[in-house]
Amino acid sequence: MKEMTKRALSDAFAGESMAHMKYIIYSDIAREEGYSNVARLFEAIAYAERVHARNHARLLGLLGKTVGNLRKSVDGESFEIEEMYPVYKNTASLQGEKAAEISNNYALEAEKIHQTMYAESKKDVAKGKDIKLAEVYVCPVCGYTHEGNPPDKCPVCNASSKTFKKF
């Protein structure tokens, strides 16, 4: 693929990915405000944006078999843990942006868990086996992720586990 086309597809992938996430979040807000049909509209268009992103990702060679996808996910989480979020958190701290510092810390702590979960999953998938997975709970405040019965309070942000989303 020619470089300008690759760059354009990469930019389009990033844009479609961001649009997908924004529309999912907008859907949550609309539903919370009682606009269930607007929420469905946001969800439908978010799905369309996801289709666009997947098409671009396929052409860019970003999609592979599960074991490779897990490896890429471990690498991505490692980058976020070792480089990205520490820098973002420190920048926010240096600039006195406490809310941004907290937001980056929440993400950093959750990414550590995600990295471990992906790495452990990769071991089984590399052997051709699916993982054993209990119910997974995610804190809606900070993203803390826990397999099995969660603690009463989130260890990262102190939110009640009663608010956790179950997967």
The Cα 126–Cα 70 span in angstroms is 10
Instruction: From residue 70, give the alpha-carbon distance in Å to each of 26, 110, 121.
Output: 29, 17, 8
18 and 54 share a domain?
yes
User: Quick one: 12 and 50 in the same domain?
Assistant: yes
Same domain, yes or no: 11 and 50: yes
Do 131 and 119 meet the contact criterion of CB atoms below 8 Å apart? no
Based on the fold, state whether residues 54 and 77 are members of the same structural domain. no
* Spatial distance between the Cα atoms of 23 and 20, rounded to a whole number of angstroms: 5
Q: What's the total number of domains in the chain?
A: 3
Which portions of the chain are predicted below pLDDT 50?
none
- Together in a domain, 117 and 162: no
Structural domain including 166 reads: 133-167
CATH number of residue 151's parent domain: 2.20.28.10
pLDDT tens digit sequence for 2-23 = 999 999 999 999 999 999 999 9
Residue 82's pLDDT is what? 98
Query: Global pTM?
Result: 0.88
One domain, residues 91 and 137: no
pLDDT (tens digit per residue) in 100-126 = 999 999 999 999 999 999 999 999 999
Q: Residues 81, 120: one domain?
A: yes
What is the three-state SS of the chain? Answer: CCHHHHHHHHHHHHHHHHHHHHHHHHHHHHHHCCCHHHHHHHHHHHHHHHHHHHHHHHHHCCCCCHHHHHHHHHHHHHHHHHHHHHHHHHHHHHCCCHHHHHHHHHHHHHHHHHHHHHHHHHHHHHCCCCCCCCCEEECCCCCCEEECCCCCECCCCCCEHHHCEEC
The predicted structure's pLDDT at residue 162: 97
Query: Are residues 49 and 86 part of one domain?
Result: no
> CATH number for the domain including 14?
1.20.1260.10
